[in-house]
Every structure is written in C-alpha cells, then in structure tokens.
Amino acid sequence: MVDNEKRENLANARRKLKKFRDQHLPSGSDDHSTNGTSIESPVDYNTIPQNVTAFGNEQQTALNGVSTSPIINLEEQNRQHNLSIEKQKQQRQSSGGSNVSGRSSQIPGNIDEKLRRDAENLQEQLEVHVQTIGVLVAEKTDVSAKLSQSFKQLERKQGEMDELYGRLKASRERVQELEKQMQNSTSDVQKREMAVKEFDKENDRLKIENIRHSQLIEDLKQNINELNEKLHNRQNTIDQLNIELEQFKKQPQTINDTSQAEQQITELQQTITFKNNQIEEFLSSISRMRTDNDQYQQYNTNMQHHIQELNDQVKYF
C-alpha cells in the first residue's frame, strides 16, 4: 500500500518535471542522465539484482544525480535570464528619441511580467524537484530498510544452513560408523559360520570314530568270551588228567608196568605243563584284552563328552 503510494507520487513528480522541461527548456537539454541512466526512466520494482551492494550503489548514484542535476539547470536558467535582463537594459540605455522613451515605458513592464512568469516557472520547477528528491529519499530509506532485513534473513538462513551442514556431517559419520559395525558383524558371522562348519566336520569324524571304537569293543568282548570258554575247557581237561593221574597212582603195578606208568606220568605232566602254559597265555591275553577294553571304554567316554561339548557350541552359535 505504501509502496504503491510512493510510486504514484514519484511518477506524478516526474510527469510534472518532464512537462515543465518540454515547455521551457531546449530540446537538447531534455534528458539529464547520470552515469548513462535517464532520470525519466521508470524504476522497475519487480526485479531485485542479486548483487545487493551494486544495487545500493546504483540507487545512491541515482539519488545523487537527481538531487544535483536539476539545481544546476535552474542556476543555468537564472544566469541566462540575468544576461537577458542586462542585455535589455543596455539596449534601453543606448536607445534615444521619443520612440525610445515610449518603448522604455513598455519594456520594463514586459520584462517584469516575463521575470515574474519565469520566477513562477522556476518556483514550480523547484517544487517539483524538491518533491521528487523527497520521494527518492523516502524510497532510498525504504530500500535500505528492506536491504537490512534481507541481510538479516540471509544471515539467519546462513546460520540454518551451517546447522544443517553440521547435522549432515554428523549423520554421515554415524552412517560410516554403522557401516563399519555392519562389516565387523558380517565378518564375525562368517567366522562363526566357518567355525560351525569345522565343528560339524569334527563332530561327524568323532561320531564315525566312536562307532568304529564301539565295534572294536564289541569284538574284544566277543574274543574275551571265546577265550574264557576255551580256558574253561582247558581247565576241565587238566582237572580230568589230574584225576586220571591220581587213579593211576593208586593202582598196583608190576615192575614192567612201572616204567610204562612213569612214562605215562611224564607225558601227562608234560601235557599238564603245556596246558598250564596255554592257560597262562590265555589269561595274559584276556588281561590285555580287558585292559584294552577299559582303555577303549575310557576313550569312548571321553569322545562322548567331547561330542557333547561340540554340540553345545554349535547350538550356541
């Protein structure tokens, strides 16, 4: 609302100034420009230059040009009027006779009328210039206020941009940290998967070995049973031989039969010794087998515990 009123006042003042110049000034002095810019050129309020400093300098230059150029023109016009008056006075003083005195009574009146009109025109022109300068000064003040507000808004926006940039930087750093954590987690998962695979392989191998050892234990048990049976049979045989020997000793014998009996006794003793040796070998073999069986049993128990630990680790992963 205020801007529209200022623009209308400025336009009216410029129209009056242009009308006065068209009526009273030569055609060669109609356009007064400052730095190549015509004073009658309308101000474009719809566009604002991006360079605020250059815009302010242009406005200041325009104001200075408007405030000085019309005053110089007025002084030049006053000087021309004074020269014209002096010239007319000289003509009046140099003229003689009755015609001169008759004219002299009319010239001062014409000159006074012309001077009065010129003074009124100059006064009107001066008022127009003063009004124009006032409007331009008000416009300059308003533009300066707007520029100050624009600078404040620019500083506020710059602060907001700096804050957003800081947040963006912090977000990027957080994203990089999370990516590193994801990479480390992925690496840990891969390592755990590889460990689980190794545990599975070891578990399968131990299961196979456990089955094989269990089969060996069963074979040893069967061998022990067979040896115990053989040992029992040998023991029965020895007992039977001992009974026959005792019976043979109790029978009455002749001298001829004595040597034969001794030979039989010797053979029986040798047989008994051989059988005893076999029994000792069987017992030793059974003892070794039992020891091996105990070792295999202990190994089997350890393997069972180890397999259970591996299964627990696999479940944990």
Report how far Cα 36 is from the mean position of its chain's Cα atoms: 52
pLDDT one-digit tens code per residue, 257-290: 566 767 777 777 787 778 778 777 777 877 777 7
Strands 37-38, 33-34: pairing kind: antiparallel
Using the predicted structure, report yes or no on whether residue 171 has a pLDDT greater than 80: yes
Q: Angle 50-55-58 (CA atoms, 0-180°, nearest 5)?
A: 155
DSSP conformational letter for 49: -
One-letter amino acid for residue 306 of the chain: H
What pLDDT was estimated at residue 169? 92
pTM of the shown model: 0.33
Q: How far is CA 54 from CA 48, 58, 123, 187, in A?
A: 11, 6, 35, 60
The phi, psi pair for 46, rounded to 5°, reads -90, -15
Rounded CA-CA distance 59/146 in Å is 13
Using the predicted structure, report yes or no on whether residue 303 has a pLDDT greater than 70: yes
Locate 16 and state its tokens. 């009056």
